[in-house]
Amino acid sequence: MVAYANPEEPADERRRGDGFGTALWDFPAGTVTFHCVPRFAAPRDGRPEEYPGWPVTVPLEPPGRGSVATGGVAPPAAEPR
């Protein structure tokens, strides 16, 4: 988990920490970039300002043994029938 919200006062909309996220897939570069924007973000230069530490870019990995897709655990081998 990279982001979560656990507000002290859930009724206060401006301090809850909620917002929205987007993912930008760049297949030629082999990356995906995750954006995390506060719900009430004001646009700056035509783009909303993100939470500190965002965006986050990670490499894409093909599914399979030891990849992020399997949590770094090799999938079980198929049983022959």
Secondary structure, 3-state, the chain: CCCCCCCCCCCCHHHCCCEEEEEEEECCCCEEEEEEEECCCCEECCEECCCCCCCEEEECCCCCCCCHHHCCCCCCCCCCC
Q: How confident is the model at residue 57 (pLDDT cuts 50, 70, 90)?
A: very high
Q: How confident is the model at residue 25 (pLDDT cuts 50, 70, 90)?
A: very high
pLDDT > 60? residue 37:
yes
Q: What is the pLDDT of residue 23?
A: 92
Model pTM?
0.60
